[in-house]
Structure 1
Amino acid sequence: DILATAIQRCATDVVSETTISAVPLPNDEMKGRLIGREGRNIRALEQATGVDLIIDDTPETVTISSFDPVRREVARLALGKLILDGRIHPARIKEIVDKTKAEVEATVRTEGERAAYEAGVPGLHPELIKLLGQLKFRTSYGQNVLLHSLEVSHLAGMLASEIGVNVTAARKAGLLHDIGKAVDHQTQGPHALIGADLVKQWDKHQDVVQAIAEHHGEAQTSTVMGFVVAAADAISGSRPGARRESLEQYLNRIKDLEDIAAGFPGVEKAFAIQAGREVRVMVKPDKVDDLTAVRLARDIAKKIEESLTYPGQIKIMVIRETTATDYAK
């Protein structure tokens, strides 16, 4: 009843954004101008923006490649301005890119402030505002992460009000729960723990930090606030149209995870849970000892890394259980 009430109260639009990595050109002649004599223009553009430009046989198209969504946006906008301007040389490229960076930084601040205002979370540190704004250019399964964070904030506040938890803290934790995704291309580890470390630097509310760390079950503790944020996150991500992964793709990915784990000797059963973020492996205790179980978890993780493409990280848990039974007569 509480979940149904919260879902009904948060009637949001279905919005999916995809990252634009292809820039249309007016004609194929523009490719030569972008490359420049001996490649000087394309080198200047790549050096100034920090992205890779792919100019191939695709008609009237240039592809931008970068793990950093903000850099990719800067490159996309700068490239569009250069094409319109027509003056393409290293000095002009640097000038356009510098102006575009300033514009994108202003957009990042504005979007961060707008999100905080809409979520009803005042007083956020400027660094958190900046990181929040960067999520406008980040997507997860086709779902825009900033819009998702706003939705989770509203849902977490509603759930908190239904069960009598601090509503303001729930909204803040919901808004910031995916802030680690703004820098997860630069830092190793799950985005929930990265985000908790970031928020801890600029926010002293320990319950908010703990909820962010717990929202994917990767922390060692569990609190009511963590469950509230995790529930809100699951509602936002699983509603129809929120994410682009089809049912068939999802089922295939789950099956692939389970098949990889089940293919190792000594494995009795394997289950992919938490939407494929965790694999639990049940082993035969007479075939797999404790030391082998540790090795098995590492081997399964390595095989998944080599065989599949997936966002974030996948937790492998090997469970070995021995049961002894006797009867008192």
Structure 2
Amino acid sequence: MTSVVYILIAIAAGAFTGVLLAFLFKRTLNKKSSELDRKKEEIVKEAERDAERIKKEALIEAKDIKYQTKSEGEREVKEKKFELNQMEKRLRHKEESLDKKLDQFEKREGDFMKREKDFSKKEQTIADKEKHYDKLIQLETERLEKISGITTEEAKSQLLRKVEEEVRFEQARLIKQIDHETKEEVEKHSRNIIGLAIQRYASDYVSDATVTAVTLPNEEMKGRIIGREGRNIRALEAATGVDFIVDDTPEAVTLSGFDPVRREIARISLERLITDGRIHPARIEEIVEKVRKEVNNAMREEGEKAVFDLGLTGVHPEFIKLLGRLKYRTSYGQNVLQHSREVAYFAGMMAGELKADVKLAKRSGLLHDIGKAVDQEVEGPHHEIGAAIAKKYGEDERVINAMLVHHGDGDPICVESALVTAADALSAARPGVRRESIENYIKRLEKLEEIAMSYAGVDKCYAIQAGREIRIIVKPDETSDDMSYLISREIAKKVEAEMTYPGQIKITVIRESRFVEYAR
């Protein structure tokens, strides 16, 4: 019974608990449902507010786009209207221009038609006049033929003969002019060639005299040279063929003789006797003979050296000996061997410029004065003596011709002979080579410098290239470039007026530019 009661109580308690839980659950559900409805209403309201805001913003943006689109459309319309107005104006202007041109064209067309009619009339008139003039010419020609007694063909022949004579005269005049210009050009070209040869060749010159002085160690040596009763000095003079002059000149003996080879042998012999100390006739003859052989060997070596330096081959040995002998031969104080070498160089250089035979020109130049080696032993002019020697030893005919004509006697048979003649004159006329021209040469240089220094603004001047050029340095502070040019012209004119000189003189005026700045 108790168990049933407990069970009923438990059931009642369970039922009550269930009802209570159901009530509480329902209440909770109602509360949550109310909260959800409230949140739902808030979300809906928020969504409505957002939608309203978005709608307003969209409306504002749509209005802005509409306004911008409208503004751009109005601007484009205005631009199009402006462009259309401009195009309309241009078209109107072009239309007016075309109308004017059309009017002008129509007017010109009318003028052209009118002129064409006038030209047709004039053309017809000219044709009629031509026919008339042809008839008149024919009548006049027939009349002239009757008056002159010759036909038209004969008149033409006479006219052609007259024209031919005039043409020949003009041709002769033109040929003469061309010939004159050609000569001037040839002369100019030849001067250039000669000037180039002179500039390319530079050589020292030596002036020899007919006496030689031998220095003695003391005055007592004079007595030993004279010897007892003069036997030593007589032996010296007999062996050498040279005069020994023993005078008051202190510690010196003078050797006098026109033969430079003998004078050289005597000089060397005397010097060796003085060094040896044994001076007596037998020793003198021995020394002189020995020295003579040495000098002959030295002359042969000089001849061989000259031939070798010029690059010549096949020269006869006798020519080589004679060339060496020219080392001791002088002409107007100029050494003949040196002169012959110069002539060979000059002739070879000019032949090279003219495309002639350089070897032949050098050979002819070297041998042209070979006759001077023996002209004191053989009578006759040296060029004829040299030609005879050349023929004897079978030398080339052109070389012989160059020997014969190098002083202007006869005509050259080849260009090399003419070149040797010119080279001989160049070598002999170079300033300072010959004694008689040194004074004139120095005076010319002094006169050149004197003329240059006489002008204001000139600082320094130098005569160079053997007086063929003068270089003038002017003061840059006092003389401008234009004034420098004027000074050169005035000096050139003054030199031409006051001086006599061969060829031409180059006037070079130099003005130095200076730029000065100070660092402070």
TM (normalized to structure 1)? 0.71
- Residue 247 (structure 2) aligned to one of 48, 53, 56: 56
Q: Is this contact kept in 2: 1:16–1:241, CA < 8 A?
A: no
Q: CA deviation at 1:18?
A: 2.0
Q: Is this contact kept in 1: 2:327–2:338, CA < 8 A?
A: yes
Q: How far apart in 1 are the matches of 2:403 and 2:357?
A: 15
Q: How far apart in 2 are the matches of 1:238 and 1:230?
A: 12
Q: CA deviation at 1:87?
A: 0.8
Say whether 1:12 aligns with 2:12: no
Map of 1:233-272 to 2, 5 A cutoff? 233-246=424-437
1:30 aligned partner: 221
Q: CA deviation at 1:191?
A: 1.5
SS at match of 1:23: strand
Per-residue CA distance 1:226-252 (angstroms, 9 max, x = gap):
2210111111122222222236589xx
CA RMSD, Structure 1 to Structure 2 (Å): 1.8
Q: Which one-letter code corresponds to 1:217 in the other structure?
A: G
Q: CA deviation at 1:144?
A: 1.8
1:272 aligned partner: none
Unaligned runs of 5+ in 1: 251-329
2:422 aligned partner: 231
1:100 aligned partner: 291
Q: How far apart in 2 are the matches of 1:138 and 1:183?
A: 10
2:186 aligned partner: none
SS at match of 1:64: strand
Q: Is this contact kept in 2: 1:149–1:177, CA < 8 A?
A: yes
Q: How far apart in 2 are the matches of 1:229 and 1:16?
A: 22
Q: Is this contact kept in 1: 2:207–2:435, CA < 8 A?
A: no
Say whether 1:144 aligns with 2:335: yes
Q: How far apart in 2 are the matches of 1:85 and 1:187?
A: 37
SS at match of 2:402: helix
Q: How far apart in 2 are the matches of 1:246 and 1:231?
A: 18
Say whether 1:78 aligns with 2:269: yes
Q: Using the TM superposition, name which of 191-200 and 129-138 deviates more.
A: 191-200
SS at match of 1:128: helix
Q: Which one-letter code corresponds to 2:243 in the other structure?
A: D
SS at match of 2:254: strand
Q: Which has the higher helix share?
A: 2
Q: Is this contact kept in 1: 2:387–2:400, CA < 8 A?
A: yes
2:401 aligned partner: 210
Q: Which one-letter code corresponds to 2:321 in the other structure?
A: K
Map of 1:163-182 to 2, 5 A cutoff? 163-182=354-373
SS at match of 2:279: coil
Q: Using the TM superposition, name which of 54-63 and 73-82 deviates more.
A: 54-63
Q: CA deviation at 1:138?
A: 1.7
Q: Is this contact kept in 1: 2:432–2:438, CA < 8 A?
A: no
Q: Is this contact kept in 2: 1:21–1:76, CA < 8 A?
A: yes
Greater length-normalized contact order (CA 8 Å, ≥ 6 residues apart): 1
Q: CA deviation at 1:7?
A: 2.1
Q: Is this contact kept in 1: 2:352–2:358, CA < 8 A?
A: yes
2:411 aligned partner: 221
Q: Which one-letter code corresponds to 2:426 in the other structure?
A: I
Q: How far apart in 2 are the matches of 1:22 and 1:162?
A: 45
Q: CA deviation at 1:13?
A: 2.3
2:303 aligned partner: 112
For the pair shown, the structure with the greater C-alpha radius of gyration is 2
TM (normalized to structure 2)? 0.46
Size of the aligned set, in residue pairs, is 248
Per-residue CA distance 1:208-267 (angstroms, 9 max, x = gap):
01101110123x3333332210111111122222222236589xxxxxxxxxxxxxxxxx
Q: How far apart in 2 are the matches of 1:74 and 1:112?
A: 18
Q: Any runs of at least 4 consecutive aligned residues in structure 1 with deviations exceeding 6 A, and if so which?
A: none
- Residue 389 (structure 2) aligned to one of 188, 198, 202: 198
Per-residue CA distance 1:41-87 (angstroms, 9 max, x = gap):
11111111122212223222212122221111100100111111111
Unaligned runs of 5+ in 2: 1-191, 442-520
Q: Is this contact kept in 1: 2:322–2:370, CA < 8 A?
A: yes
